Amino acid sequence: MAKAKATKRLTGIAYIPRWLGGVSCYIVFGLGGLFISLTLLPLLRLWPGTPQAKVARAQRTVHRMFRGFVGMLTWAGVIQVRTQHLERLATAKGKVIIANHPTLVDVVVLISLMPNVGCIVKQGLWRNPFMRGVVSSAGYIPNRGADLLLSDCKGVLAQGTNLIIFPEGTRTHINAVINDFARGAANIALRTQTDLIPVVLRTNAVGLTKQQPWYEIPRQTIGMNVEVGETIEHIRYHSQSDGEAKMARQLTRDLENYYKQQLDTNYELTKQN
């Protein structure tokens, strides 16, 4: 897979079409989420089938919706996505998918690539009128406390749904390779006895970061390489028999070191751009 090449940084009048196109994508995405929540998703809930089948239908619908949004962002020149070893996600079932978190659209990109996936979402999204119906119908998990969260994750994974987790907890700070990893992903994987699949999101330009508002459309197209790593088996850590807390700390350190090693070169190149 070829690395994403740096694109020209737009300035002056040349930036106006990019900004209008990018903002329009977000507006269409928000209105589309509200429309689907009020029309299609209620119909899917009423359609015959088991609760698991209904959630799976909703997840496929959200997958197609997000794939359309990524297509719009690509058309507007905001991002350009490339993938490597995507077949590892296509065959994944009931796995914890972990990824670094460089941009606002990371979860959208990942869900656009996987039809059978859920994620942990902030409580605020459950009150958002544009996305509330989407996250509830697709069986996404609200972040509502450690015990309830673990129980919800165990149920979702047992049904064969993959679960996206960002160990950084928030988007990577500007001028950092990654943020420090929290132990949440490791704890969930070990306590539910679930294997992990690491995904490295490698970008060639800074944009859509935590420090920037959503309407600050990047002046330079963000090339994002989605690189899917090999499965990390939870049994490797259970076999140490050192207690769950110690195993979780070790797994978290290993994951953090893995991402630092993968992203170090990319970070230096991005700073130069």
90 Cβ neighbours under 8 A, 6+ residues apart: 114
- Phi first, then psi: give them for residue 104, nearest 5 degrees: -65, -30
C-beta of residue 190 within 8 angstroms of C-beta of residue 184: no
Q: What is the pLDDT along the chain (273 residues), one digit of tens a residue?
A: 445 556 788 999 999 999 999 999 999 999 988 888 888 888 888 888 888 888 889 899 999 999 999 999 999 999 999 999 999 998 999 999 999 999 999 999 999 999 999 998 877 777 777 777 788 788 888 887 777 888 889 999 999 999 999 999 999 998 899 999 999 999 999 999 999 999 999 999 999 999 899 999 999 999 999 999 999 999 888 766 667 888 999 999 999 999 999 998 654 444 444
212 Cβ neighbours under 8 A, 6+ residues apart: none
Question: Could you give the CA distance from residue 120 to residue 143 in angstroms, rounded to a whole number?
Answer: 6
Q: Which of these, 196, 206, 202, lies nearest to 227 by C-alpha position?
A: 202
Tokens 């990018």 — which residue?
22
